[in-house]
């Protein structure tokens, strides 16, 4: 078979391509059956008709930047806006921003409840 990353011919049980150093089936640039060029989301080889095999983690989407997470944590409104901006094109980013927004809201609520309890406590003890 051929390395899907660089197109070098490798043995069937080879786990790491000797030419490019990655798992031959983790690439998406060449057909594993004939070595022809393929595109990232292609499923069948146009040259030989083989079903293209892609193993390993799917292409990771970028996570939301730290500043965006921090902003949505401190100001949930920002998180909600970012979520709506990202949720169509970059669901992964939107999801992480959403988690941080929820975290921020929960944290705010805890502080709020603490404030009430503390306020009640001070009132009861007279301090």
* Residues within the interface to Zn ion (CB under 5 A): 3, 5-6, 8, 17, 19-20, 31, 33-34, 36, 45, 47-48, 50
Could you write out the DSSP letters of every residue in 12-80? Answer: TT-SS-TTT-S-TTT--SB-TTT--B--TT--B-TTT-PBPP--SSPPPPPPPPHHHHHHHHH-HHHHH
Among residues 45 and 64, whose Cβ is nearest to Zn ion?
Answer: 45
Smallest gap from Cβ 112 to Zn ion, in A, equals 56
Smallest gap from Cβ 51 to Zn ion, in A, equals 10
Token code pair at residue 55: 């193993």
In terms of Cβ atoms closer than 10 Å to its own Cβ (0-12, 13-18, 19+), residue 4 is: buried
Smallest gap from Cβ 12 to Zn ion, in A, equals 14
Smallest gap from Cβ 55 to Zn ion, in A, equals 14
Among residues 45 and 82, whose Cβ is nearest to Zn ion?
Answer: 45
């Amino acid at each position: 078979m051929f390395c899907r990353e660089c197109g070098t011919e490798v043995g069937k049980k080879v786990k790491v391509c000797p030419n490019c150093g990655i798992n031959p089936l983790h690439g998406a640039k060449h057909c594993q059956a004939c070595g022809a060029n393929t595109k990232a989301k292609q499923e069948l080889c146009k040259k030989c008709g083989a079903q293209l095999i892609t193993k390993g983690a799917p292409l990771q989407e970028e996570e939301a930047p730290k500043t965006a997470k921090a902003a949505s944590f401190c100001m949930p409104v920002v998180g909600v806006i970012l979520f709506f901006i990202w949720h169509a094109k970059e669901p992964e980013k939107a999801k992480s921003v959403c988690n941080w927004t929820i975290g921020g809201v929960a944290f705010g609520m805890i502080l709020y409840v603490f404030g009430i309890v503390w306020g009640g406590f001070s009132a009861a003890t007279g301090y």
